Structure 1
C-alpha cells in the first residue's frame, strides 16, 4: 500500500515517472521539465503530490505543455497511483505550471454527494422493505452498508476486500448532503477501520483501479471474535490467539521551497460541478420537477466538451446521442393524443369552466 521511494548510489531519491493521461486511463505521454517535486502519503487520507513544470527548461521544450490542464490525471507506474491534477499558471521570465495532484479515487468520491440516506435509523426501519443492514454483505446488497452508499451514483467502484471481522457489524448512520468519501471517513471513525482506494486483485483488470478495500484497525480474538484496540490477551475469553489490527499510521513528507509568484491563474476544481440536485422544499413541487425532467429525476447534468475530450469514444457517442434525443423531445416532438381521450378531457373542461374561466380545451 505505502509507496517505496528508491535511492540512487549517491543516496539521492529517484523521482517517479508522471504519465499524463485521460480519465479513461489512456496515456498521453510522460511529463518532462519537472522540478521541485513533493510527495506526501498518509494511510488515513489521500496521497498527494505537487511539482513545477517549465515550458522551457535548459533549452528543452515541454512536449505536453498545452495538454497539462485541470482534471487531467497522472499515472505513477512505479506505485500504480492515479492522481487528478489542478494547475496554476505562473508567468515571470519563464512560463511555469504549478501542478497539484491528489489521489483520483478520493477526489472522485469527494464530489459525489449523498442525499437523505438513512441506515438502520427510525426512518429506515419504518420502510416497508426495510432489511437490517450490516457493514458488508456481498450476497445481499440491500442489506450491505457499503453497497447502499455506492448503489445509485458510484456503482462503477468495486469493493475488492473487507476484513471478516468488520462484515457483520451493524450501526446506524444518516447522511444528507455529504460526499461518499466523507461518509466513509465518518464510518471509519465510528468502526475504527481503514478505507483504502485503488488497490488491485487478480480479478480486477480495469486500467484505472476504482476500487475500495476496508481493513480492521482493531485486534480481533480468533476464539470469540471480540474486537478491541491493542489487545494481546482477549479481555472477554482470555485467549491469546489474537489477530492484530492492520498496519500503523505512517507519514512520508518531502518538502522543497516554492518558487515566488508573479502572475497566478488558478482554478478551484473542487467547485467544478456537472450534476445539480433540485430541491423545492415541497413534495408536490419535487414531484413536478421529476415529471417535467426528461431524465425522470431531480438531477440536472451538464457535461462540457473539455470533459468529453477525456472520455472514451463509446461514452461520448452515448452522451451525444442522448443530447440529440433530448433536443428532439424538447423542440420537435409532437404528441399524438387519442381523439377519444381529448374529447373526454374537453368535456370535463367545459363542465368545470364555470368555476374557473382560465381552464382551456385542447384544440386538435
Structure 2
C-alpha cells in the first residue's frame, strides 16, 4: 500500500476546497505541498453545478441540469452545463488543469475511511496512507434520509435523493422508465422546488408535501412563497402543506406505489424524490474533535479566546463589526463584516501577521484601530 506525505491536505472536494486552494495559491504555496482528497470521480467544479449552485438562490439550476442531461429518455441534451464555481468573488475558473499548473495535487476517487488526528494520518479504502502537517476538514454534508427517522418502507425502490452525480443519473433513468407517471416530492425547499419543476416538464403528475405553512420558510416570506406556490399550482403541482410522509407501500416488485401521510391521506406515486435537508459529514472525526449542534465546533477554544468589537446591533442601518481571536498572546484570527476595502485589507493583514496583543479588553477597546496599526 502506498504512503504519501503533504504539508497541507484538504479533505473534501467541494467549493470550500476550491476557495481554500485558491487562497493557498495566492499565499505562495509551493508545488507538491498541497493535496486535495475527494471520494468523487468528478472534480467539484462540475459536481457543484448539480448540488451546490443552489446557494445562488436561483430556482432553475438543478432542473436545468436534469433537462439537459442524457439519456434522452428525459427531455434534454448536454451532460453538464458550463458553470464555474469559486468565481463568485472574482478570479479565474478552476478546472482540473488549473490545479496541475499551480502544483496542487488532486486525488480523486479516493474515499478516506480512517482519520487519526494524533498521528496526522488519513487512510483510504484501498489501504493507502496520507500523512499531513496541517489538515483542513472540508467534508461538507450528506443528505438526511427518511430511514434516519425510522419511516416505514423508506428503503423501497424508486425513492430518490439528490446529492451526487450518481443520484442524478439514477433519477434521470427513472424519469425515462416511468413516463407520464405519478411523482411525490417530499420537502418544500430548494430540492423540492427544483425537482417538482423538472418532473412537471417531463409530464409527471406531481404532488409536493411539506410540513411548513409555506415553501422555503427560511428564505421566503409568506407573500414570496405564495407567488411561487401559485405559479407551481398553475403548472399542475399538487401542493400539500402541514403534513409529512409517514410510510410507504410497495408493489409486488418492491417499488413504491403509495405514500402514507401523517394526516391520514394516501397518495399514489410511481416515484418519490426526497429533499428534507442535510447533516454534517463528520463520522471520521467522532471522538477526536469537540462537536456542537451536530457539527465540528470551531473557533472559540479551538483557536483561542475571542472578542467582538464594533456595532453589531441588527437595527443599525449599516452595522460594522468584527472579531479577534487571541491565543498565547497573539491574534491568531480576525473577522470583519461591513468594512471598507481598506479596512478589510487591514483585518486580513492581522490574520496573516498574527501580531501580539496584551488582552482581549485592549482589542475590544481599540477595535479597527488595532488592525490599522499593523
TM-score (norm 2): 0.21
Whichever structure has more helix as a proportion of its residues is 2
